Amino acid sequence: MSIRHGLLALLERGPRYGSQLRTEFESRTGSTWPLNVGQVYTTLARLERDGLVAPGGEDTAGHTLYAITETGRHELHAWYERPVDRANPPRDELAIKLAMAVGAPGVDIRAVIQSQRHATVQAMQDYTRLKAQALAAIESGRSGERDDIAWLLVLEQLIFQTEAEARWLDHCESRLVRLSARGERAPAEAEPPEGTTDPTTPTTTDRSLSRTARTRRV
């Protein structure tokens, strides 16, 4: 999540001070990505350094206001138009955990998958419940519709993400089962059953014929 662009988007609606930006950011995203005030002010300082925002005076309570500059507005709209770069995907803790669990001594990777699947399904149920609440709020008009719609979009992204994660976990388990079965078959295939001959192993007859051929050549 680009916090700097999120703050620019809020500032385009008018000057804001730090804690106000934090509150509106969390309201718009349903507190999915909580911010602390220090993080907000650090980001504002960098935006000011880059010429994207500028101090905009104070409000009646003495809070320092920040306003988006024209350069900042151009940067914001360029961000809207620019696809999100997937060349360097964010590190996913679950993928790293499963990658490290493969072959780790004393770790039952299928138990790890099962535990995560339970948590993923629970999260999906929670997101679905919150989605129903957001839809009800939009339909009733009880609160700011723009924030509710924004939160609904975030929730639906989280639901799709957890659904994909659940499918991936199922795939991982199936993959491990197939690889395990193949590994168990390999020794049996490497050692021919008793009473049969491995076609790649020379027989006594083959060795005798080879010696005869060498004698004739000499």
- Per-residue pLDDT tens over the stretch 74-125: 999 999 999 888 887 778 899 999 999 988 899 999 999 999 999 999 999 9
| Average pLDDT of span 190-205 | 48
Q: What is the pLDDT of residue 183?
A: 67
| pLDDT for the residue 144 | 61
* pLDDT tens-digit series, residues 146-190: 778 888 999 999 999 999 999 999 999 999 888 877 766 655 554
Residue 135: pLDDT over 70 = yes
Residue 88's pLDDT is: 78
Question: Between the CA of residue 173 and those of 15, 93, 112, 170, what are the distances in Å?
Answer: 52, 18, 10, 5
Q: What is the pLDDT of residues 20-63, one digit of tens each?
A: 999 999 888 877 888 889 999 999 999 999 999 999 888 888 89
Distance CA 194, CA 91 (A): 51
pLDDT of 209 higher than 90: no
pTM, entire model: 0.69
Place of tokens 């650090």: 42
Q: Are 61 and 17 in contact (CB under 8 A)?
A: no
pLDDT at residue number 22: 93
The reported pLDDT for the residue numbered 213 is 44
| Per-residue pLDDT at 186 | 57
**Alpha-carbon distances, residue 210 vs 69, 71, 198, 203, 205 (angstroms):** 89, 85, 18, 11, 9
Which letter does DSSP use for residue 64 in this model?
Answer: E
